[in-house]
Structure 1
Amino acid sequence: MDKKAVRGWVWYDWANSAFATTMLAAVMPVYYESVAGSGLAGNLAQTYWANTQSIAMLLVAVLSPLAGAAADLSRSKLRFLVAFTILGAVSSSLMAFAGEGDWLFASSLLVLGIVGFSTGNTFYDALLRDGVPEEQRHAVSARGYAYGYAGGGVLLAINLLMILQWERLGFPSKTAATQLVFATVGVWWLLFALPLFTRWKEPRPTEEKGGSMSVLSAAGASFGRLGQSLRSLRHYPELLKYMAAFWFFNDGISTVIVMATIYGAGIGINSDDLILALLLTQFTGLPATLLFGRMVARYGAKRMLSGSLLVYLGIVVLGYFMTSSAHFFALAFLVGLVQGGSQASARSLYARLVPIDRSGEWFGFLALSSKFTSVLGPLVFSITGTLTGSSRAAILSVAAFFVIGFALLQLVNFQRGAEQAALVVPDAGSGTGADGGGGGLQA
């Protein structure tokens, strides 16, 4: 294992988490409604924001498996990651030119940014399998999430200082300060991605593995690979069971992330407190994720992931009874304790179950399926809220995703799944299967 390359991998989480915190969670939603969408009547700004997210996720769902399969065939995961990183970072920085009433321009840039962020993560996650031995993946994955919490939190704190103290910092207006905030996201993302881009080495492709293919040829061949992936699922029953569990609990986690601020605002929590609570989650997540990784080494990833899902179940139940900012801060703290650790464990457990020579394809496949299933959580929230007239009942409905995901996770035998992933599958498309090894920087 190349330690410098792995450190670069960890730093990439620090880099791109700035997009998740500033662009998706904290600053951009407010700016979109109050500035870019200021000329829209009624709740059109919120509607267009939701439509923007849906369009972006649909594009990610389509692109991720195709690009992942193409990257496996061309042996160029890193090049794909670089390309999508540049797309996301440049789109974020260009948001500085979105002014009052420019909702369409802002939506277009946000779609491109999400595509760069989410599709790029497909290749980033796949590199974990290629460059880190199995016995160290949980720890490295947890470090990545911990650095992500730190990086996203540090830049968000800087960004909030710029916005709240815009006069003292010499900005002509709060809007101008916010526009510069968007530029900092792109610069931050590219700057801290450089260690990964410069240190990670992919092996030279061979004719036998299809490495001489152009990216365009590989992209064309990827359509066939996706069909073969679907057919080969019967050879990986444990992987299929885990994917089913992941669809449910990941949808529950995503819904909590997406709906938390809206739910808090709807029951009267002050907007400043909502943002501060997000910072609390970020900085709680840093040490908590590192500690979570240590506990995984002692108790096992499956057990720790299961425990985190029970904590999430408690969060949504307690959210039903929440009435004050203090309650919201308490729940934000609980989310920070388990969010990074649960995601890191989920990622490394999945890496254990996928064939190593097709890791990009399978991570892309998971991205495809999870992007489509991620519609269910907000939809259930919306339907429940509409039928009952209560946002409290709506947040409680999310508990079902954690209950089902937890139950399905208990059915997965990861030792058996790892053995299945090492088998040679005749119809897998490449003519060879994984060798079961985890070390080295093979692609």
Structure 2
Amino acid sequence: MSNANRKSIWSWALYDWANSAFATVVMAGFFPIFFKQFWSSGVPVTESTYQLGMINSVASLIVVAMSPILGVIADQLGRRKGLLLLFACFGAVMTGGLYWVEKGEWQVAAALYVCALIGFSSANLFYDALLPIVSPSDWLDRVSALGFALGYLGGGLLFTMNVWMTLKPEVFGLANSADAVQLAFLLTALWWILFSMPLWLFVKETNQTLSTPLKSLTGGFKQLRQTLRKIHQLPQTYRFLIAYWLYIDGVDTIIRMAVDYGLAIGLDSNDLITALLLTQFIGFPAALVFGRIGERYSPRTAILLALTVYIMVTLYSIWMHSAWQFYLLAGVIGLVQGGVQALSRSLYSRLIPVKQTAEFFGFYNMLGKFAAVLGPILVGWVTILSGSNRIGILSILLLFLLGGYLLLRVDVSNGEKQAARY
């Protein structure tokens, strides 16, 4: 491989380092804690759990509606990279806006968070669509895993510094831990923008088509219907998308709701943050290892292994009472979380036409976010109806079991042949 290709791959992967700061510091870390303890202070824990689930679901519904059209437009314009950076900057600005939200203003915090999630999720659509363009076909698993590994490392490093700020605010000239958390939102926005620059400078797009923005927008809706027909004509791709929709719902719901669950059952927020750091730093080497497992045994086998671990973690979580148990589960999740995400992306990239990556990844992103609508609502409603956060978290099992069963029925070899004919 040439040095130019290697530079392109590393620059592409560094975007995961950039945007994982949002996923780790904001989405999984400080936002759920700060929302429950600062912006929604005084609200019962079951109600704030329901609010957080609804906020995530509203953002996901908007992304669901936007993703397929955005994917089609990106392919027609040949501007995946430009649209990625546009939405990344939008998400970063909204994240930085959380710095100025005052105590009790949960509605303002929710609105900014929804906008930040829209930017984050939409940018990921175009980031994923660039994978088959920057990576050789026999390196897809490895390159996809590299991105997630750098994401875990970068997000973990920034999160570590932010945690230090909350524990020792006086060292950084801050009045208290609340000021430190708000500053963390601003630093995350700057980190996100700064480390997006290598992708902008060194990743070169290919397979570009010539079209005007207006023609792409009007043609996008027509093309959307055609894309739906194409997916139905690729039965293995279609089957994988349904499986992915189900199991990634469980993964994303655990990412978004784990800290809220820990708080609801009485664990200390410092213990929960420590557990998240453990997940990040275990996830860095584990994602790389899973990339090699996918190359050796097939990505489908590695994903099924990860789903088995998730099922066991979910079952164990309903008996969890102490911080050390949360640490244990965080470490186990760190072993498989990056792997299931990375290999799902690389497996799907094998099952789609290479000249229509953004279009097909629009549906991939749509299903992933539509799943994230179902999961938090499912946990929130079951929690409200049962009056127990433990029963609520157990509802995720259904998603892992159904998703794993459908993934077993995907014929990857046949799916690759079908995609190659397009």
TM range (shorter): over 0.9
Residues 279-358 of structure 1 aligned to structure 2 (within 5 Å): 279-358=277-356
- Deviation, structure 1 residue 48: 4.5
- Deviation, structure 1 residue 45: 5.5
Aligned to 1:375: 373
Q: Which moved more, 1:87-96 or 1:17-26?
A: 87-96
SS of the counterpart of 1:168?
A: helix
Residues 13-412 of structure 1 aligned to structure 2 (within 5 Å): 13-38=16-41, 47-203=50-206, 205=208, 209=209, 211=210, 213-412=211-410
* CA 1:375–1:113: 2 relative to 1, 3 Å: closer
- Deviation, structure 1 residue 196: 0.8
Q: 1:388-426 deviations in whole A, cap 9, x for unaligned? A: 444333333322211111111111111110111112xxx
Aligned to 2:10: 7
* CA 1:130–1:48: 2 relative to 1, 3 Å: same
* CA 1:371–1:230: 2 relative to 1, 3 Å: same
Q: 1:147-181 deviations in whole A, cap 9, x for unaligned? A: 01001111011111112111232213433322221
SS of the counterpart of 1:99?
A: coil
Alpha-carbon distance in structure 1 between the residues aligned to 2:66 and 2:20:
21
The one-letter amino acid paired with 2:113 is: L
Runs of 4+ with deviation above 6 angstroms: none
Alpha-carbon distance in structure 2 between the residues aligned to 1:370 and 1:129:
19
* CA 1:41–1:383: 2 relative to 1, 3 Å: closer
The one-letter amino acid paired with 2:391 is: A
Aligned to 1:428: none
* CA 1:397–1:42: 2 relative to 1, 3 Å: closer
SS of the counterpart of 1:7?
A: helix
- Deviation, structure 1 residue 121: 0.0
Alpha-carbon distance in structure 2 between the residues aligned to 1:263 and 1:12:
30
Alpha-carbon distance in structure 2 between the residues aligned to 1:376 and 1:226:
23
- Deviation, structure 1 residue 46: 5.2
* CA 1:390–1:105: 2 relative to 1, 3 Å: closer
Aligned residues: 418
SS of the counterpart of 1:326?
A: helix
Aligned to 1:441: none
The one-letter amino acid paired with 2:419 is: A
Alpha-carbon distance in structure 1 between the residues aligned to 2:370 and 2:388:
26
* CA 1:347–1:275: 2 relative to 1, 3 Å: same
SS of the counterpart of 1:331?
A: helix
Unaligned runs of 5+ in 2: none
Alpha-carbon distance in structure 1 between the residues aligned to 2:38 and 2:319:
33
SS of the counterpart of 1:268?
A: coil
Q: Which moved more, 1:172-181 or 1:118-127?
A: 172-181
Alpha-carbon distance in structure 2 between the residues aligned to 1:238 and 1:155:
39
Alpha-carbon distance in structure 1 between the residues aligned to 2:317 and 2:51:
27
Q: 1:224-261 deviations in whole A, cap 9, x for unaligned? A: 11111112223100001111111111111122222322
Instruction: Report the TM-score when normalising by structure 2.
Output: 0.94
SS of the counterpart of 2:204?
A: coil
Unaligned runs of 5+ in 1: 424-432, 434-443
Alpha-carbon distance in structure 2 between the residues aligned to 1:54 and 1:379:
7
The one-letter amino acid paired with 1:261 is: V
Alpha-carbon distance in structure 2 between the residues aligned to 1:393 and 1:103:
26
- Deviation, structure 1 residue 319: 1.4
* CA 1:321–1:146: 2 relative to 1, 3 Å: same
Contact preservation (8 Å) 2:207, 2:355: no
- Deviation, structure 1 residue 295: 1.9
Contact preservation (8 Å) 2:54, 2:376: no
Q: Percent identity?
A: 39
- Deviation, structure 1 residue 47: 5.0
- Deviation, structure 1 residue 313: 1.0
Aligned to 1:419: 417
SS of the counterpart of 1:53?
A: helix
Instruction: Report the TM-score when normalising by structure 1.
Output: 0.89
The one-letter amino acid paired with 1:298 is: R
Alpha-carbon distance in structure 2 between the residues aligned to 1:102 and 1:263:
22
Alpha-carbon distance in structure 1 between the residues aligned to 2:206 and 2:283:
35
Alpha-carbon distance in structure 1 between the residues aligned to 2:202 and 2:57:
35
SS of the counterpart of 1:138?
A: helix
* CA 1:263–1:97: 2 relative to 1, 3 Å: closer
Q: 1:313-355 deviations in whole A, cap 9, x for unaligned? A: 1111111222221111111111000000111011100011011
Contact preservation (8 Å) 2:125, 2:358: yes
Alpha-carbon distance in structure 2 between the residues aligned to 1:321 and 1:37:
27
Alpha-carbon distance in structure 2 between the residues aligned to 1:95 and 1:368:
26
